[in-house]
Amino acid sequence: MLGDVSGRQNGDGAAIHPTLLPLLVVSIRDVSPVKDLFEIQLMLIAHHMEKAMDLRQIEYVVAVARTGHVTQAARELRVAQSALSRQIQQVERELGVRLFDRSTRRLRPTAAGEAFVARGDRLLADVRALHEEMQRFRGPHRGRVTIGALPLVAEQRLPALLCLFHALYPGVELALREDNTMPLLALLEAGQLDLAVVHQLKELFPNGLPTGLVAEPLFVEELVLIVASDHALALMEPGPGPVSLHALREETFIAFKPGSGLRPTLLQSCAGVGFEPRIAVESGEVSSVRALVSAGLGIALVPRSAVEASGPPVRIVALEAPAPSRTVSLVWRDDGHRSATATAVLRVARQHFSHDTTMARLATGAIADRSRDA
Is the pLDDT reported for residue 337 higher than 70? no
Element housing 93 (H / E): helix 81-95
pTM for this entry: 0.61
Are the C-beta atoms of residues 361 and 217 closer than 8 Å to each other? yes
108-132 average pLDDT score: 85
Q: Is 157 left (phi over 0), alpha (psi -120 to 50) or beta?
A: alpha
Q: Percent of the chain having pLDDT more than 90?
A: 34
269-292 average pLDDT score: 93
Amino acid symbol at 273: V
Radius of gyration of the chain (CA): 27
Domain ranges, ordered by start, for the chain:
5-50, 55-118, 140-374
Mention the CATH class of domain 140-374: alpha beta
More confident residue, 150 or 241: 150
Mention the CATH class of domain 55-118: mainly alpha
Identify which of 181, 213, 173, 186 has the alpha carbon closest to the alpha carbon of residue 197: 181
The set of residues, in sequence order, having a beta carbon less than 8 Å from that of 82 and lying 6+ positions away, is none
Q: Residue 343: what pLDDT?
A: 83
Residue 216 to residue 199: CA distance in whole angstroms: 11
| Pick from 153-162, 199-208, 284-293, 352-361: least confident | 352-361
